[in-house]
Amino acid sequence: MKEKVVLAYSGGLDTTAIIPWLKENFDYEVICCCIDCGQEEELDGLEERAKLSGASKLYIEDITDDFCDNYIIPCVQAGAVYENKYLLGTSMARPGIAAKLVEIARKENATAICHGATGKGNDQIRFELGIKALAPDLKIIAPWRMTDLWTMQSREDEIAYCKSHGIDLPFDASHSYSRDRNLWHISHEGLELEDPANEPNYDDLLVLSVSPEKAPDEAEYVTMTFESGVPKSINGQAMKVSDIIRKLNKLGGKHGIGIIDIVENRVVGMKSRGIYETPGGTILMEAHQQLEELVLDRATYEVKKEMGNKLAQVVYEGKWFTPLREAIQAFVESTQKYVTGEVKFKLYKGNIIKAGTTSPYSLYSESLASFTTGELYDHHDADGFINLFGLPLKVRAMKMAEIKKMKHQ
């Protein structure tokens, strides 16, 4: 009886070519697993394509709600943003995909998992760290790193390889942007983006959004509610998280929200340039932050920002299934108890403009913040506070003056 391998299958040319390659080089029975994270791509025909290419079975697994509830929301609550811009759209999806691949591998009694990530990118690390953490006994096959066996270097090579194995597929060799899409975002790499000196061709590139220049001339108001840091409704309509993100994607895309151009530092050491469209995610992160501004005290907010940056790094590097991620998430969850309230804003040509935030747990005191003297604040108290707060500066200045005087004696 042949050993089984579970292949992370997208239905694209790369992973389709891997099917006969696995059979030819390892004599495996190939089980394909297509994992839907809200790509909204057409999945019809994938089973026929996988079996035509030599797979014995195809699983199509929808983990969209799991992705939203257990990966996206913890990162939103933490304010996890990699290198000040990237909202972790691809990074957050990989641990959920890895977990599902392991689940299917156990169900099928497979001995190996195969992925089509290249040897230059971050995804190979994210997939493999997830698999190692959840199933250290399973073998991992990464064709693009096995250059002695995987000799294909282009789409033309892959198409020719498939045809030589009697597989005629509806792919062409034309080159386009390299994209990754899920419910949270879509990323774009390649073509003119490979040179940071080039301006992106947004007319050809954008999928979820329009550029701010092409957004409506009228602003649109949006109201959201949160309970304990979790979004609950848009414009008075209660929805589950995945539907909230879908709705925000439409609103944000319409108004040119969340388009970023970044040169980021990959885990493997190189810099890469990409365009990310995260219309709904950008709105959700901003709305959540606006509410936190009202309810978190200064010291907690300060530490939480540090934890958010750390979580972004942890997730970006594929270290989701680690004690550190669990500890950071536990801290963040403890800060979300009172992040409840309503956020109102307007969307206008790429901008999210505040229009009022309220919370029953707001720490904002109008009487304290106003220029008139409130009962809790005596202006005279500031004298002693400033004297003590500035004491180290004063002592140092006196010491420096003393040393200067001694040098000139």
User: Strand pairing partners for 238?
Assistant: 233
Which of 119-133, 305-319, 354-368 is least confident?
354-368
Superfamily of domain 178-296+339-358: Argininosuccinate synthetase, chain A, domain 2 (3.90.1260.10)
DSSP element (H, E) containing 232? strand 230-234
What percent of the chain is modeled with pLDDT above 90? 87
- Say yes or no to pLDDT of 366 above 80: no
List 123, 155, 187, 359, catalytic entry: 123
Is 94 labeled as catalytic in the residue annotation? yes
Per-residue pLDDT at 42 = 59
What is the rounded average pLDDT of the residues 26-44? 88
Give the DSSP per-residue string, 56-103.
SEEEEEE-HHHHIIIIIHHHHHHT--BTTTB--HHHHHHHHHHHHHHH
pLDDT digits 0-9 by tens, 44-92:
778 889 999 999 999 999 999 999 999 999 999 999 999 999 999 999 9
d(CA 75, CA 98): 18
- Say yes or no to pLDDT of 156 above 70: yes
What is the rounded average pLDDT of the residues 142-165? 94
List 14, 62, 157, 261, catalytic entry: 14
Average pLDDT taken over every residue of the chain: 95
d(CA 99, CA 90): 15
Fold of 4-64+92-164: Rossmann fold (3.40.50)
DSSP element (H, E) containing 239? none
397 exposed, middle or buried (CB, 10 Å; 0-12, 13-18, 19+)? Answer: exposed
Please give the distance of CA 78 from its chain centroid, rounded to a whole number.
12
Residue partners of 381: CB distance under 8 A and separation at least 6: none
List 56, 178, 211, 362, catalytic entry: 178
List 36, 53, 91, 94, catalytic entry: 94
Is 204 labeled as catalytic in the residue annotation? no
Per-residue pLDDT at 53 = 94
Per the CB < 8 A criterion, the answer to whether 49 and 58 are in contact is: no
Please give the distance of CA 20 from its chain centroid, rounded to a whole number.
32
Please tell me what DSSP assigns to residue 194. G
Structure tokens at 228: 């304990």
Structure tokens at 110: 């497979």
Per-residue pLDDT at 47 = 86
What is the rounded average pLDDT of the residues 205-233? 98
Is 106 labeled as catalytic in the residue annotation? no
Give the DSSP per-residue string, 305-369.
HHHHHHHHHHHHTT--SSHHHHHHHHHHHHH-TT--EEEEEEEETTEEEEEEEE-TT----HHHH
Per-residue pLDDT at 379 = 85
User: Strand pairing partners for 139?
Assistant: 112
* Intervals of CATH 3.40.50.620 along the chain: 4-64+92-164
pTM exceeds 0.85, yes or no: yes
* Intervals of CATH 3.90.1260.10 along the chain: 178-296+339-358
- Say yes or no to pLDDT of 369 above 90: no
- Say yes or no to pLDDT of 41 above 90: no
Per-residue pLDDT at 329 = 98
pLDDT digits 0-9 by tens, 265-306:
999 999 999 999 999 999 999 999 999 999 999 999 999 999
What is the rounded average pLDDT of the residues 355-369? 90
Which of 20-24, 173-177, 339-343, 387-391 is least confident?
173-177
Per-residue pLDDT at 272 = 96
Per-residue pLDDT at 172 = 79
